[in-house]
Amino acid sequence: VDACTMRAIQWGDLDELRAKYGAEAVSDLPVLPNSSKTTPSVLIKPKTVALNKEFIVKED
């Protein structure tokens, strides 16, 4: 985290991060396994397209 020069990675207590980023910070995305099964210790501030249930990554 200290090496992220773009400050794209934040760390801390999950409750504090939820309070800081609000509803835009999520643990569930359509492309990830359900968080109720994986219990991640991560929050993601996704782009709008990443929340689309029909979103798929185009493979080359």
**What CA–CA distance (Å, rounded) separates 33 from 7?**
26
Torsion of CA 28, 4, 17, 47, to 10 degrees: -40
The per-residue pLDDT for 13 is 93
What is the per-residue pLDDT across 16-59, written as a single tens digit (0 to 9) for each? 999 999 999 999 998 888 899 999 899 999 988 888 888 766 66
Do the beta carbons of residue 21 and residue 45 sit within 8 Å? yes
The per-residue pLDDT for 1 is 59
**What CA–CA distance (Å, rounded) separates 58 from 40?**
26
Q: What is the domain partition of the chain in residue ranges? A: 1-55
**What CA–CA distance (Å, rounded) separates 9 from 1?**
6
What is the per-residue pLDDT across 1-19, written as a single tens digit (0 to 9) for each? 567 788 788 888 999 999 9
The per-residue pLDDT for 58 is 63
The per-residue pLDDT for 59 is 66
